[in-house]
Amino acid sequence: MQSLKSYQLTPPEKKHIMEGITSILNQEKITFAYLHGSFLKEKFRDIDLAIYLEKNLDKKEALNLEFEMERKLENAVHFPVDVRILNHSPLSFRYNVFKEGALIFSKDELVRSDFISLTLAMYHDFNFYRKRYMREALGLEV
């Protein structure tokens, strides 16, 4: 099994990489983007990005766009990049991106704040049932 390589950059180096990523993402039909994951910490294995598209694509088109954006960004920054589209992502993933991630840019604050509000409301509504299930069905206290 191949071991995963980790990287460590100085804050100015990370800032330079994020400027390059932002300039590429700004050219696309992306309303807002978040950085999340290990790149926000000292060492990282890849650069995790969550993007919200101006228009909804079907799941196949969205997956193709994720791969296309990953290739484009990796060629530009020379580090592994993982792109996920928020429009189609699971509720728990969206919640964690907004809770732990850092906003890179936003072209429309109203759309972004509405999507965050919807995500938080849905997450907290669902969280009650998730905890109840964990407690009753699995005997776990959360």
Which domains can be identified in the chain, with CATH numbers? 7-107 (3.30.460.10)
pLDDT at 114 over 80: yes
pLDDT at 4: 79
Report, as an integer, the average pLDDT of 25-29: 87
pLDDT of 2: 55
Express each pLDDT in 55-107 by its tens digit.
888 888 888 999 999 999 999 999 999 999 999 899 999 999 999 999 999 99
Distances (CA, A) of 106 to 27, 34, 137: 12, 9, 41
35 bridge partner residues: 49, 102
Please determine, for residue 1, whether its predicted confidence score (pLDDT) is greater than 70. Answer: no
Distance (Å, whole) CA 33 – CA 112: 9
Q: In angstroms, rounded to a whole number, what is the distance separating the alpha carbons of residues 126 and 63?
A: 26
